[in-house]
Amino acid sequence: MTGNKHSRLQSLNRRIKNRIDLSRLTVLICVICAIWHVYNIHYWNLPNRVIIWDVISYYSYLPSSVIYKDLKLKFIDEDPEYFSDKFWPNVTPDGQYVIKMSMGLSYMYAPFFLIAHASTSINQHDSDGFSTPYKYALIMGGIIYMIIGLLFLRKILLRYFNQGITSLTLITVFFGTHLFYYSSTEAPMPHVFNFALFNVFIYLSLAWHEKPTVIKSLFIGILTGLITLIRPTNILILLFFILWNVQNLNDLKNRMTVFLQAYKHIFVIVSIAFLIWVPQLLYWKYVT
């Protein structure tokens, strides 16, 4: 009887272990910590927080186009003192205003910005693009992209490692780098958005090299466009797609052969990435 009871307990323990997804639990812990910190500091209620420093220029495309309806930013001349800490454009030799940063982050902010803008009609906050709802929405956007990044990093790691190593790596990346800080305290900065997009890009690149498809190529093109539009130097991420698992010159030759054979998929990637950039090129043409 004692032996049977011990056997049943061992069987129960094995079933419990099999049901516990340690890496998913780790992601949940990271998310809870980030959200707890966000609500502990509640920066959206504080002046001179959230939409500050570089974020001003990353974000400027949204209020200038949706609220003030003037991408040339001529409206700031109507009240320079009020707009002095809200828009920081460069000035061309002929006096035109140009937003310094490219618009990639505005793409990423857009859904949250539009929700916040719609909410101001019912929560009695200013619809100026800089009141509490807009700040709160940008912070929540950072949290959502953090979750996406962690989930895809987990999927990448589980391809090669067990649950224990994957969980340890997730914890180390989240708390041992600046990810925790840029997922909460400075959520609208580019870092957490890059983190999310990079991990999705790497995951899709691995899947593409296993079996290229038009759908995978489409999404890789979108990601390439967004990643480089956030920060043009991010184009270095393409080296991962090109050189993944290339260990010698012969591998490189084989990889080039693969790309030539899959030229239709490569064309899709390049074309979609370019289309993502078209609004930026049109903007530069329009304002200059």
Summarised one tens digit per residue, pLDDT across range 168-178 is 999 999 999 99
Give the separation between CA 107 and CA 219, rounded to whole angstroms. 15
- Report yes or no on 239 lying in a domain: yes
Global pTM value: 0.91
Residue 6's pLDDT is what?
57
**Structural domain for 62, as ranges:** 25-287
Residue 234's pLDDT is what?
97
Residue 7's pLDDT is what?
61
Residues 259 and 217: beta-carbon distance below 8 Å: no
Note down pLDDT in tens along the chain; length 288 residues. Answer: 555 655 665 554 555 455 579 999 999 999 999 999 999 999 999 888 999 999 999 999 999 999 999 999 999 999 999 999 999 999 999 999 999 999 999 999 999 999 999 999 888 899 999 999 999 999 999 999 999 999 999 999 999 999 999 999 999 999 999 999 999 999 999 999 999 999 999 999 999 999 999 999 999 999 999 999 999 999 999 999 999 999 999 999 999 999 999 999 999 999 999 999 999 999 999 999
Residue 126's pLDDT is what?
92
- Report yes or no on 1 lying in a domain: no
Residues 94 and 270: beta-carbon distance below 8 Å: no
- Report yes or no on 265 lying in a domain: yes
Paired tokens of 137: 């929405």
- Report yes or no on 37 lying in a domain: yes
- Report yes or no on 12 lying in a domain: no
- Report yes or no on 220 lying in a domain: yes
Give the separation between CA 156 and CA 27, rounded to whole angstroms. 14
Give 85-111 as a DSSP string. Answer: TT---EE-TTS-EE-SS-SHHHHHHHH
Neighbours of 56 (CB within 10 A): 19
Residues 135 and 49: beta-carbon distance below 8 Å: yes
Sequence-distant (≥ 6) Cβ neighbours of residue 215 within 8 angstroms = none
Residue 17's pLDDT is what?
52
Paired tokens of 120: 């101001």
Residue 243's pLDDT is what?
97
Tally of domains within the chain: 1
- Report yes or no on 18 lying in a domain: no
- Report yes or no on 15 lying in a domain: no
Residue 4's pLDDT is what?
64
